[in-house]
Amino acid sequence: MEIRIGENIKRLRIMKGVTQEQLSEILNVSSVAISKWERGETMPDISLLPKLAFYFQTSIDNLMNYDACEVELQITEFIRKHTEAAQNYQNDLCKELSAAAYANYPNDYRVMLIYMWDIIGGCADNDDALIRENKAELNSICDRILKGCNDTVIRNDAYAIKGKILKAEGNAKEALALYQKELPDWYQTSGQKSEQLFEKGTEEFASLLRQNINELCRLVLNKKSKEFWFCTDGTLAEKTEEAVSFCETLKQLEPFFPDGSLPELIAYFAGDFVSKLCCSDADPSLIDRFNAYR
C-alpha cells in the first residue's frame, strides 16, 4: 500500500478552493509545512489527521489512501506467493517476500508471523546464534502479537518463537515450561474436542473418530520418517532400505483399515521420506524404490 497523503491533501485543498496559506492558518502550521506535505517531502503529524479529515469531510483512511479491501487482497497474494515459494524450497525468495510484506504491512499479524519464521529459518532446526542475533526484534513482534491478536493459532506460534528464544539463550527448561503453560497438549486439539461433542455410537462420532485416526496416523508416520532419517545410523541407502521395509510392514495392516485409507497413508510416508532424499541430492535409484507406494 502506497501512502499518498500529500497528494490527497493537495487534491482536496484545490477542490475546496483554499490556498496553502489559508490551510496553514486553519491547522496552525506554516505554509512551508503544507508545501512539504504536498511535495511528499514530509507528512503531517498524526495528531493533525483527525482535523484534516474533518476539514475536508473525508475519513482518515481515505486521506491516507487506505483501502482495506485492496490491502487484504495484497496480503492474500503475498501469502499465496510465499506458500508457493516455501513448497519449492525457495528460502531466499521467501525471506525477500516476507521482508517486503512486513515493510508494507507491519501491523498485520499474519505478515508479522511469517516474517519472524523466515528470520529464524522455519519452525524447526533453527540456528540459535541467528535467533540470538535477532532476539530484540523477535521479542518485540511477539509481544505485539500477544498483546493485540486474538487469533489462537497466531498467538500459539508467537509463544513457540518465544520458547525458541529462551532455548537459544540456554534456557531450555524455561522454554519447555512456557510451552506446557501456554500451548495445548494433544488432547486439547479441535479434532479431539469435535469427537467428544457427539455421543459414542452415533454416525457423527464414528466419522470424526475415523478422521482423527487418519490425522494421528499421518502424525505418527511423519515422526517415523524423521526417526529413520535423523535418529538412525547408516548410509542413505541403508536408511532407504529401512523405510521401504517399513512400507511393506504397513501393508500388512490393511485388514484394520476397512475404509481403504491405508494406501494413502503409506503414500504419505513414502512422499515425506522421498522429499528428504531429494533435499539430500540422493541417487535417483533410491528415490525410485518408493515408486510402488506413491
- Is domain 5-63 classified as CATH 1.10.260.40? yes
AA identity, residue 5: I
Determine contact, residues 274/252, Cβ cutoff 8 Å.
no
Q: Is the pLDDT of residue 1 over 60?
A: no
- pLDDT over 70 (residue 144): yes
Q: What is the mean pLDDT of residues 133-158?
A: 95
Give the pLDDT band of residue 2 (cuts 50, 70, 90). low
pLDDT-derived band at 294, boundaries 50, 70, 90: confident
The pLDDT value given to residue 279: 87
Cell triple for residue 250?
A: 504397513
pLDDT at 223: 97
What is the spatial distance between Cα 68 and Cα 285, in angstroms, rounded to a whole number?
52
Angle at which helix 236-251 crosses helix 262-279, to 10 degrees, equals 170
Residue spans of the domains in the chain: they are 5-63, 68-183, 191-293
- Tell me the pLDDT tens digit for each residue of 223-244: 999 999 999 999 999 999 999 9
Own/partner pairs for 95-102, CB < 8 Å, 24+ apart?
95/119, 101/75
For residue 186, pLDDT over 70 is answered with: yes
Cα dihedral: 91, 95, 98, 99 (round 10):
-170
Burial of 267 (0-12, 13-18, 19+ CB in 10 A): middle
Quick one: pLDDT at residue 142? 97
- Mean of the per-residue pLDDT values of the chain: 93
How would you class 114 by CB atoms within 10 Å of its CB: exposed for 0-12, middle for 13-18, buried for 19 or more?
buried
pLDDT at 105 over 90: no
- Do the Cβ atoms of 146 and 161 come closer than 8 Å? no
Residue 34 has pLDDT above 80, yes or no: yes
Give the confidence band of 135 by pLDDT, cuts at 50, 70, 90: very high
Whether 226 and 276 have beta carbons less than 8 Å apart is answered as no
Q: Are 230 and 243 in contact (CB under 8 A)?
A: no
Give tens-digit pLDDT for 41-95.
Answer: 998 998 999 999 898 888 888 788 756 667 788 999 999 999 999 999 899 999 9
Q: Note the pLDDT of residue 16.
A: 83
CATH no., domain 68-183: 1.25.40
Q: Is the pLDDT of residue 257 over 60?
A: yes
Q: How far is CA 252 from CA 178, 214, 216, 255, 265, in A?
A: 41, 17, 19, 8, 13
DSSP H helices in 200-261: 203-230, 236-251
The confidence score (pLDDT) of residue 67 equals: 61
pLDDT of residue 222: 96
Whether 104 has a pLDDT exceeding 90, the answer reads no
- What are the cell numbers at 116? 519472524
Q: What share of the chain has pLDDT > 70, as a percent?
A: 98
Distance CA 131, CA 30 (A): 46
Q: What is the pLDDT of residue 6?
A: 87
pLDDT of residue 175: 97
Residue 103: CB atoms within 10 A of its CB come to 10
Alpha-carbon distance 56 to 14, whole Å?
A: 11
